[in-house]
Structure formats: structure tokens, C-alpha cells
Structure 1
Amino acid sequence: MEDTQEDFMEQEETVDSDEPSLPPFNAPFRSTRLHIQRSNVCSRAYFVVVMVFFHVYILNVIALLLYVHYNNGPGDLVSGDRGSSAPVSDTGSRLPPPAPSSGELHVEDYSQSFSLPRIEGIRVGHVQQVSLVPDRTHEMRTLSLKPLLFEIPGFLSEEECRVVVQLAQLKGLMDSQATAPSQGQEESNQPLLSLSTDEVFSLLDLNQDGLLQKQEIVSHSRSRDGTWLSPDNLRQILTGLEACPTGMLTLGDFRRVYDVSQRPGQAQSGRLHSRFKQRSKHTWLYQGPGSHHVLRTLRNRVTSLTRLPSALVELSEPLQVIRFENGDFSNAHHDSSPSHSETTCAHTRLAGNTSALTEVSCRYLTVLFYLSSVEEGGESTFPVADNRTYEEQALVQDGVDLTDTQETCGRGNLRMKPTAGTALLWYNHLSDGRGWMGELDEYSLHGDCLVRRGVKWVANSWVNVDPDYQQQARYQRLVAQRYRAKTGMEDHYKSLSHSDLHQDL
């Protein structure tokens, strides 16, 4: 053992003599080795923790992206815009130019939620710049605030006016339904067919059991023929039935109720509606795919001017063209109707209230085009525009009825002389304060003065909206479903046009 230690010492001295002095070998080596091992243990644990957090973070980001994707689809994007459309600014900002005409319907828009933006009138006489056609700017002037009424000169060119008139003449015009009695003839509110009380009872008694139930009365309201019962008659009959303890009418009960409904002065509708008179000729022109390009252009221009969703404009009534000849006129009236529980909008009747007594026109706004100028007379009149208050009794002044445009057209608050190419836009309804259609604006009462010399051609473009937001949404979904069903069948059978769909609806 001692020899071994001596040999080791000798070797160490030999090394020390041959090479420079170095620190001891074993001790530092062990210390360094232990340090490296401890560092590796810490690094691995730290790496595992970091990787776990990194993967959790990535999974959270992916989950968040999927959530945003599925909860912000096209429907929510559209509905999120409800009420966000800024009105035309006082600085005269331009409206967007019209979208390019498409041969296809915007079916994907029919099931979406819509808002109803309104143009700001600012003040009477205010002029705004609007862009409706490329490379041209139109001026839009505020004519009144009650109703909100605008005038846009040069909305149509002379050629466009001529084309619309020619298309109406080719289609053929018919006499307007509401006509004035000839001179010396008593105005009659009697139905077109003369039926006895017993015959009316028999027609209403669908199951012929000798008793008249509520559903049998209501079912007639959807016939819309108006040949032997008016909505006023139906209301009176239904009121009598509801007052009957049994909830049914016998023939004897019906005779008493029906006699009351036939008496003059028992109508429950407004005086203005019952006394409305008009003499003119009119026709309807379809504006969808396949129609004349001028008609499609006008519809697109209306969409751009009003900034309403294109689907609402597409699903509205066709363009009505009216011809007023010498001596023709229309008394003051409202284009739309007030909403009641007993009525349903004609355009949403597929999704409407089946128990409603009658269908009415629901027209959010009117765009009227002057297609010709008139030598004398024929002005559009708004008798109570910008009145401080509206009272129906106030329409009769000094024994003169302001709604009678034959006699009192010159006394209206606002009159516009027809000028070819000019357009008028007014809102028939107020806003409900939540971006949808509210009550009927009674100040939108308007009529056409007597044409004294010349011929007056006008066209009406109405945008139909149901005041019941949910009912309008159901109608849009129903249209989308029917259209998709029809377009799916055309792959196997034949092509279906929008006119087919419009007729079915």
C-alpha cells in the first residue's frame, strides 16, 4: 500500500515537472458534473410547463375563432346593421350609387333581418347631393317635414319617361276602381251584386247548418272580391255575433245585424276612405328579371335612393303607371293604412293572421315619377303638409272639404306642378324609434288636382313593409323557402322566372 502511494506521488511529480501547474483534476470535475445534472433537470421541467401552456393557449385561440365564426354568420352580420345606417348628413353627403342590375333574385337576403333607414329632411328647402347614376349627381330638396317629403329633379331622362309610357300603353290601361259618380248621379256605396239578406246568410253559411259561426264570417274576408260584402259590413256582422250569448247567429239574428250594417252612416272606417273618389286609368308593370332594362334600372335607382334592403324593394308591388286625361283627378287619400288587429297586410298574407277581417296595403314609402308635364292643372297636392296639428274635422273649412281636389285643390298647403323626369319621395309611416315602421303619418294625405289641359302620366313605386317585424321576417323566410324549392325543381323540369313566384305569392 505504501509502495503504491509512493509510485503515485512520483508520477504526479513527474507530470508537474513536465507541464505547467494545473489545478487539481478530480474535485473540479465532480463539481461541474453535478451542476450540469441539476441544470438539465430544471430545464426539462421548465420546458414541459411552457409547452403545456403553449398548447392550451393555441387551443383557446382555435376555440375562440370557431365561436366567432359560428356566432357571426351572414344573418347576424345583417341584423347587426339594423339601425346602424347613418342618415344623410347635413353636409350633403352622397348616397351610394345604384348596384349593378342582376338577373337573379337576392334570395339569400329574404330570410335576413332588415332595418329601415330614413333620409333626414333637416329643414324645408334643404338640398342634399345624391348619386344615383354613374358620373352624375342629383339634387334632392326637402319640401316638407310633415310628411317627410323630397323632390328630385331629373330623376328620369326624357327617353326613360317615354319608354315607361309606351310600355304602359302596350300593356293596356284599365279604369281605376274608385271612380267619381257622373254629374247628377247619387254616390252609391252599395255592393256590385244585389243580394237579399237570406241569400247573404246562405253564402256565409259554408256548412249549411243554419247557424253562422265566426270562422265562416272570417273566411269570406280573404275572398277580396268586394262584390257583395264590404269590410265594414263584415265588421258589423262580426260585432253582432260576438254580442250573441251563443257565439253563433241564426237567420233571425243575422237579419237584425245585417240590416244595421246596411244602414248609411254605420261604416266604421274613416270618413276619408269611404268618400275617396278618383277618375283615371292605370296599369301595372313588372320590374323583375326578364323585364325591360329601363324598369329594372328604375327599381335599382329606388333602392339606391331609399337605401332600403334590395329584397324589400324586389318583393314590393309592381310599378303602377297612371294616366290622367282632361278632367281626371283623385281626391286626397293615404297610400298606406293604419295597422289594426282586424287587418293584415296584403303583401304578407301568406304569413299573415288568418283571422283578420280584411287585407290592407302596407306601404312604408312612396316614390312618384312624373312621366310628362301638364299644360294646366294636374298638380300633386298635400292639403295639410306641415300643419301644426292634424285633425280630421279641420279638413272641413268654411263648409269646404279640403280633400275634395275638384273644388279645393288651390287651398292645399303644398302643391307641385308635374314636370317630366322629376320624382317625389315621401314616407307614409313614422319611425317606431327602433329602426322599424311605426304609425301611419296622417300628414301624408295627398291627391291629384283636376287636369284642365293636357295629359298627365305618373308612376308610383311603393315599398311594402309589414308593421309587425316578426311577420315580415316570417314572410321573407317563406319566400326564400318557396324560391329554393322552385329553383331546385327547375333542374329537372323547366326554368322558373320571378314572375311565376310573384303570381304564386
Structure 2
Amino acid sequence: MEDAQEDFMEQEEQEEYEDRDKPLTSPYIPPYRQTRLHVQRSSICSRAYFVVVMVFFHVYILNVIGLLLYVHYNNGPGDLVNGDGATSASVSDSETPLPHPAPASRELHVEDYSQSFSLPRIEGIRVGHVQQVSLVPDRTHEMKTISLKPLLFEIPGFLSEEECRVVVQLAQLKGLMESQTTAPSQEQEESNQPLLSLSTEEVFSLLDLNQDGLLQKQEIVSHSRSRDGTWLNPDNLRQILTGLEACPTGMLTLEDFTRVYDVSQNPGQQRSWKLTSQFKQRSKHTWLYQGSGSHHVLHTLRNRLTSLTRLPSALVELSEPLQVIRYEHGDFSNAHHDSSASHSDTICAHTRLAGNTSALTEVSCRYLTMLFYLSSVEEGGETTFPVADNRTYEEQALIQDGVDLTDTQETCARGNLRMKPTAGTALLWYNHLSDGRGWMGELDEYSLRGDCPVRRGVKWVANSWVNVDPDHQQQARYQRLVAKRYQAKSGMEEHHQPLSHSDLHQDL
């Protein structure tokens, strides 16, 4: 019995021992199966995630390519690289003012003419839209959209009262020429009344370009360099320079200038001098050079225009001088286009040096006009845009009831838009449309404008044009030609005449 029990116990121990050696696979099958199923689900999720990521990646690449194509075709001939660093094409956010750029250099930069460029345009948004623009430090101006056809803006207070006064005085000192095509009236021929009477202090201030209270040789000589006219006749200039060289400091104070200038006049002449001989004719307009050596106010106006329009500084610098016009009682100008439509047989006057002019007709190519009101007018003298914002433009529509709307002397009141002159206010409008590629397109027929007759008072205005050739390759050749001339002149002696508008343009 005992032997049987011992055999049974030994058998159980043997089975237990054998069980320990057996692999425990059955109890752990479910975990291994679950792990294998989990790996399969993870693999499926990874593939789906990879597909989604690749789809988004390809969409992103397509968006980038589309953006690059959009920028390329909207920049036209090329991106602008200028001294102001401005590449934006519009100013549309009324909450964000335009930044005030650093003052432009007084000298022309050769690199400005070797780069391709595009023509930014200010956005009008809608008639009545007001934008905040920063043109001078610590101040913003309001620019209001007046018309969309043509694209026209009004900027009150663009010029200060002092700036208006200085520009008028500079124009009078330079001398004005008759703008009318008709012969002057007998009253004008018999009038010997001088147009200008300036004190010696005022003349000193106008000659003092940097307004430091001292006249240097360069400031005096600069007025004899412009071929558009001189401020001082050769005898006066020679006498003043002789007096300047006699000063130990090489500069003239107001007291010194008064003494030297009096010596240059006839004996017994008063210090308050009148330009009776040079300005006895009642003139109408003149041109004021705005380049190196010009008055600081003229520099300021040009730089301010560049800042506002964000155009390449090279275009602004090489455009026509500032035209100043005086409208007296009864004076007017019929409605006209400031610029001209381009044709195969025409060439822009300002780029004629870069093309074959033998068989071509020269025309004015003015991308935009900026008009400055230098005085207010008591009655009349409005700037009129007869067809502004018409639904359609038809030349035959300018004749209404047998009356020509371009005849501002008779039909000024019938114009669609009339702007009353207010001293310091500026108007800016584009004479050409965009070609859709960032360059100047066809003439905007709606830019027709004229001046209503002055009924009471005197009207002083100034026109600043930016000249652009519709053929951007022709414009580029002209830029390169200017660069070569500037390089040649930069190596010459200091007394040599610098590159100026008169070397490259004619008064239009």
C-alpha cells in the first residue's frame, strides 16, 4: 500500500516536472495575436497619414508656384530697385500711413539708371475714399480720391504757405514767358510795371540754397549753370564773386552780400531792387530746374512726389523741370491732355537721344501729372475735368448743343469736375492706364483737363510731370545713356557744369 502511494507521488512529481519543461504557448496566444493585430492597424494609419501629408505638400508647392507666377506677371518688365527702396504698387490701407523715406541724395546715382524697374500705381478704391499718407516727419496728410476716370487724388496742405511763397518768388526771379499763342494786348505792351520787387534780404534768402545764413561760392555759381536761364547777369555775378573772394572766410553773410551787391549796381541805386528790365513784360510761365544746385524747396517738392508715388527716383529726377504758371484776369487754358497717345511714327521727346529721331515725330510722354496750387483765387480759375467719370468716352460727345466742352472760356461751368484753387493743395492724376504688366499703357482719354478763366485775383500753379516712355526698352536705353554721361561728367573738374535736365531735354 505504501509502495503504491509512493509510486503515485513519484508519478505526480514526474508529471509536474515535465509540465515545467513544456512551452507555455496556449495561455499567451491571445496577447501575441493582439500585438500582431495592433501592428497591422498602426501600419494602416501610417500609410493614410503619409498620403495626407503628401497631398498637403503638393498643394503647398502648387500655391507657391502660383504666387511666383502672379508676382512675375504683375511686375512687368522687372522689379524696381531704387534709392528709396519702395516696391509697393499701391497705397490702399487708410489705417497705415506711407512711411517717410530717407532724404534722397542731391547727386544722381548711376546705379539707379542701370536697373530695370516697374511703375507702381496708387489705388483709388472708390470716389471719396481717404488715405493717410506720411510725407513729412511727424505729420500725415489726407489723400482723397476725387475721380476714378481719370484716377485723380486731392491732397490738402501738401505745401506750406512758406513753400508756396518761395516757389512763386523763384519763378518771378527766373522770369516768365508768354504762354498764349495770340499776340499780347495793347495794355500789356504798354505796361512797364515790374512784376517783382524784392528786398536784398529776400534775394539773399533765395540764393542761400541750404539756408545756413551764409553764401558760398558754389551757391552763387550754381545760378549761372542752368541753361534754362540765370538769376544774375554776368557783370553782377563777377562783382559778387570778387567780393566773396576778398572775404577771409570765403563766405558772405547778409551784411557782406548787401555791401557787395550794392557795389555791383549803378551808383545811387537803392538796396531794394526791382527787376524792371528783365520782367517788364507780363509773362505767363517758366521752368524751374530741380536737380543739383537748385533751391532746397524745389528739392523737397521733388522728393515728396517720389515718396508719394513710389516711382523710381531715376524717372523723377530725369523728368521735366517744374513748370510754374501765372494766370491773371481772364487767363485760361482750353481742355487738353497733358500726355500723348503713342504711335509707331512717334517718339517720346525725353528719350529722343536714345533713338533714331530722323523720321519720327516727338511727342510728350507724361505718365502722371502733379499740380500744386501756389495761391488761392477769389473767383474763377478752377481746374476742370470735363469728362471725368463719364460712363463712356466719345469725342463727339464733347460737342453738346453746338458748344465744344473743351472751350473752357465758354463752357467751363458744364464740366463734370471742377477743383477750386486753394493755396497748398496738390492734385495728382495718371495720364495713362496700366498695360497690365506693370508699365505705362495707353492714354487715359478721361484725363482731359483745362483751366477756367480767372475772374478775380491771380492764380499761381506749378506742374510736375514724370516722363516715361511706353517702350520700356527705349526707356532702358535712355537710362544707360544717362549713366554713361554722368560717369563721364563725374570725373571732370569741380567747376564744370553738372549733368542737368537741359543737357537731355527740351522745354515742352
Q: If the TM-score is normalised by the length of the shorter chain, which range does it land in?
A: 0.5 to 0.7
Verify: 1:147 aligned to 2:172, yes or no.
no
Q: Residue 404 of structure 1 corresponds to which residue in structure 2?
A: 407
Tell me, in whole angstroms, the C-alpha distance in 2 between the residues paired with 1:313 and 1:291: 15
TM-superposed deviation, 1:180: 8.1
Of 149, 172, 194 in structure 1, the residue corresponding to residue 175 of structure 2 is 172
Of 143, 160, 164 in structure 1, the residue corresponding to residue 163 of structure 2 is 160
The superposition leaves residues 429-462 of structure 1 with CA deviations (integer Å, 9 ceiling, x where unpaired) of: 0000000000000000000000000000000000
User: Is the CA contact (8 Å cut-off) linking 2:353 and 2:504 kept in structure 1?
Assistant: no
Q: TM-score, normalised by structure 1?
A: 0.63
Q: Residue 353 of structure 2 corresponds to which residue in structure 1?
A: 350
Verify: 1:88 aligned to 2:91, yes or no.
yes
Tell me, in whole angstroms, the C-alpha distance in 2 between the residues paired with 1:417 and 1:94: 26
Q: 1:347 to 1:407 in 2, by over 3 A?
A: same
Aligned partner of residue 498 in structure 1, secondary structure: coil
Tell me, in whole angstroms, the C-alpha distance in 1 between the residues paired with 2:401 and 2:360: 37
Q: Residue 56 of structure 1 corresponds to which residue in structure 2?
A: none
User: Is the CA contact (8 Å cut-off) linking 1:429 and 1:439 kept in structure 2?
Assistant: yes
TM-superposed deviation, 1:309: 0.7
Aligned partner of residue 491 in structure 2, secondary structure: helix
The superposition leaves residues 49-79 of structure 1 with CA deviations (integer Å, 9 ceiling, x where unpaired) of: xxxxxxxxxxxxxxxxxxxxxxxxxxx9x94
4+ residue runs over 6 A deviation? 180-183
TM-superposed deviation, 1:504: 5.1
The superposition leaves residues 161-197 of structure 1 with CA deviations (integer Å, 9 ceiling, x where unpaired) of: 00000000000001015448989xxxxxxxxxxxxxx
Matches within 5 A, 1:202-217: none
Tell me, in whole angstroms, the C-alpha distance in 1 between the residues paired with 2:121 and 2:112: 20
- Give the counterpart letter for 1:460 in structure 2: N
Tell me, in whole angstroms, the C-alpha distance in 2 between the residues paired with 1:326 and 1:129: 36
Q: 1:496 to 1:353 in 2, by over 3 A?
A: same
Of 385, 408, 416 in structure 2, the residue corresponding to residue 413 of structure 1 is 416
The superposition leaves residues 193-219 of structure 1 with CA deviations (integer Å, 9 ceiling, x where unpaired) of: xxxxxxxxxxxxxxxxxxxxxxxxxxx
Q: Residue 392 of structure 2 corresponds to which residue in structure 1?
A: 389
Q: Residue 498 of structure 1 corresponds to which residue in structure 2?
A: 499
Verify: 1:369 aligned to 2:372, yes or no.
yes
Aligned partner of residue 89 in structure 1, secondary structure: coil
Of 285, 289, 294 in structure 1, the residue corresponding to residue 292 of structure 2 is 289
Q: Residue 234 of structure 2 corresponds to which residue in structure 1?
A: none
User: Is the CA contact (8 Å cut-off) linking 2:489 and 2:498 kept in structure 1?
Assistant: no
Q: 1:86 to 1:503 in 2, by over 3 A?
A: closer
- Give the counterpart letter for 2:503 in structure 1: Q
Verify: 1:329 aligned to 2:328, yes or no.
no
Q: TM-score, normalised by structure 2?
A: 0.62
Tell me, in whole angstroms, the C-alpha distance in 1 between the residues paired with 2:326 and 2:482: 33
User: Is the CA contact (8 Å cut-off) linking 1:111 and 1:480 kept in structure 2?
Assistant: yes
Verify: 1:302 aligned to 2:331, yes or no.
no
Aligned partner of residue 369 in structure 1, secondary structure: strand
Tell me, in whole angstroms, the C-alpha distance in 2 between the residues paired with 1:104 and 1:182: 44
User: Is the CA contact (8 Å cut-off) linking 1:341 and 1:356 kept in structure 2?
Assistant: no
Q: 1:413 to 1:454 in 2, by over 3 A?
A: same
User: Is the CA contact (8 Å cut-off) linking 1:151 and 1:423 kept in structure 2?
Assistant: yes
User: Is the CA contact (8 Å cut-off) linking 1:99 and 1:304 kept in structure 2?
Assistant: no
TM-superposed deviation, 1:378: 0.2
User: Is the CA contact (8 Å cut-off) linking 1:153 and 1:421 kept in structure 2?
Assistant: yes
State percent identity of aligned pairs: 85
User: Is the CA contact (8 Å cut-off) linking 1:328 and 1:451 kept in structure 2?
Assistant: yes
TM-superposed deviation, 1:110: 1.0
Verify: 1:109 aligned to 2:109, yes or no.
no
Tell me, in whole angstroms, the C-alpha distance in 1 between the residues paired with 2:359 and 2:395: 26
Q: Structure 2: which 5+ residue stretches go unaligned?
A: 1-74, 187-281
